Amino acid sequence: MQREQPDALAQWLSDPYSASHGGESLAQLSERVAAWLAAFNSPGSTLAVTHPQVIRAVLGQLLDCPLAALQRIDVLPLAKLQLSFNGQWRVRLL
């Protein structure tokens, strides 16, 4: 995409409301992640295998980060997080 549509990619990376590539914006993804997290209302742990953008959205929801700040979180390949819920969420980087 960087070769074929560099402007669209730059807009998507800098504007959390942009879906210029025809997919989902970070804002839309964040809303979907918020609904997913809300479904966990009892203590326990959760395992999810997912993409870096979803991990950013989860961290944004749990840490109440502004959407614009999420692209500054580097999520490395094979990154591992442990999410625990006991009345409130806790994040552990593994």
The pLDDT value given to residue 7:
82
Cα maximum dimension of the chain: 46
pLDDT at 2 over 80: no
Write out pLDDT tens, residues 28-81. 999 999 999 998 877 776 678 899 999 999 999 999 999 999 989 999 999 999
Burial class of residue 80 in the structure, from the number of CB atoms within 10 Å of its CB (0-12 exposed, 13-18 middle, 19+ buried):
exposed
The count of domains in the chain is: 1
The pLDDT value given to residue 53:
92
Q: Which two tokens stand for residue 46?
A: 């959760």
CA dist 62 and 72 (Å) reads 16
Structure letter (DSSP) for residue 16? T
The structure tokens 């942009």 sit at 18
pTM value?
0.82
Report yes or no on 59 lying in a domain. yes
Q: What residue numbers bound the domain in which 77 lies? A: 6-93
